[in-house]
Chains A and B, each alone.
Chain A
């Protein structure tokens, strides 16, 4: 899906936990996430901390969308 969206001409960022799979399917902008059943959350945190964590990840994704790249890029910290 990521690749088809990219092919259509839209910049797309893939947020996922298993980065190697994301690379295989051909995502170009990749942001690694927390865990498979809760990529953008962590139930062990308080509601506020969890949302802050999610906000950081989303901001990282937005940064990825604004970054010019040539090849597949994993946006770590």
Chain B
């Protein structure tokens, strides 16, 4: 029987939520959590010999150390294939799954499979390094994701040839493979063109990468005269969250007047973010949105002024399209208000 080692986070490891996100990697013999589903899907062809659980924040903050520990844990089992996640739309979890997969592939030369939602930041970072099965954006998609991941894992473990991303359900890795097509290229091209002209659906044979990069703007010339604005995706809001910004998948941003505010205190501000442990931000929101320090610098003449309003949303599972919309809307207002530069903080 083939051997599999499985990586999951503290939540799926049933250790706890955000309050346990800083746990160091731990090793469990056998299956834990989603591993049960995975094991069932292997239908006796493979067994999960060990499960590694690591806190999402710990991994993100100590990537090198964590990766090293995890590699050491995996080594002794000498598995035929390594599976991580699925991470769905959890950003830190997805990044961790991708990073661990990459390290396992490179250092141990063991095939790797993980699963994520298309907007998970781990996808862009690691799609070239691992087979990433496309999943729904929440754990509701577990049932669909697991059989696909299991199938891919078995194939890789057995060294069977891998099909195309469309056939196997993984995210394209940018690898080209030669094959003998049924029809010659000129005919395929014309067929595609005809479909395109008719407004029908067609499938390209070479997906162009979408590089959406924006060139950096010129620097601020004289910071001591500049009006600086604060923006955050860390969910800092006046106590009580007056705009009721959602703790995840935010549909809006808030604009808050900080005229005369010199320090964010426990009594006046809090975080609405549901994707990190809120204890520290609730106790002192300056830890996410540095109003106190900027007020000092304003007083000392190190900056021109701090803009009267700050903008906040919750960057937790928020759709890229929404974030784009928020960013554009915020920028428009800032420019209209004569702001010169922006500090954007994220958790």
Contacts and interface: CB of A to CB of B under 8 A. Distances in A.
Interface of A: 1-18, 20-22, 24-29, 33, 35-41, 43, 50-51, 54-55, 57-59, 61-62, 65-73
Contact of A24 (B125, B231, B278, B326): B125
Contact of A25 (B18, B121, B331): B121
A68 B220 CA distance: 9
A36 B92 contact: yes
B213 interface: yes
B219 A11 contact: yes
Interface in B203-229: 212-221, 223, 226, 228
Interface in B297-313: 297, 302-303, 313
A12 B344 contact: yes
Closest 8 CB pairs of A and B: A4-B327, A41-B287, A8-B331, A1-B327, A28-B216, A16-B346, A38-B280, A12-B342
B293 interface: yes
B57 interface: yes
A41 to B, nearest CB: 3
A10 B342 contact: yes
Contacts of A4: 323-324, 326-328, 330-331
B234 interface: yes
A15 B289 CA distance: 10
Contacts of A59: 297, 302
Nearest to A64: B219
Contacts of A73: 216
A54 B286 contact: yes
B64 to A, nearest CB: 12
12 contacts: A4-B327, A5-B331, A6-B216, A11-B340, A18-B92, A28-B214, A28-B216, A33-B345, A41-B280, A54-B286, A55-B297, A66-B221
Contacts of A27: 344
B88 to A, nearest CB: 16
Given A4-B331, A51-B292, A66-B219, A26 B212 contact: yes
A57 B323 contact: no
A4 B328 CA distance: 5
Interface string B222-261: 0100101001011000000000000000000000000000
B95 interface: yes
A36 B215 CA distance: 27
A27 B212 CA distance: 11
A9 B345 contact: no
Nearest to B323: A1
A62 B220 CA distance: 9
A36 B334 contact: no
B344 A1 contact: yes
B333 to A, nearest CB: 10
Interface in B158-180: none
Contacts of B234: 39
B231 A1 contact: yes
Interface in B316-347: 323-324, 326-328, 330-332, 334-335, 339-347
A5 to B, nearest CB: 4
B45 interface: no
Contacts of B223: 62, 65-66
A27 B342 CA distance: 12
Contacts of A26: 212-214
A52 to B, nearest CB: 9
B214 A39 contact: no
B79 interface: no
A10 B343 CA distance: 10
A17 B292 contact: no
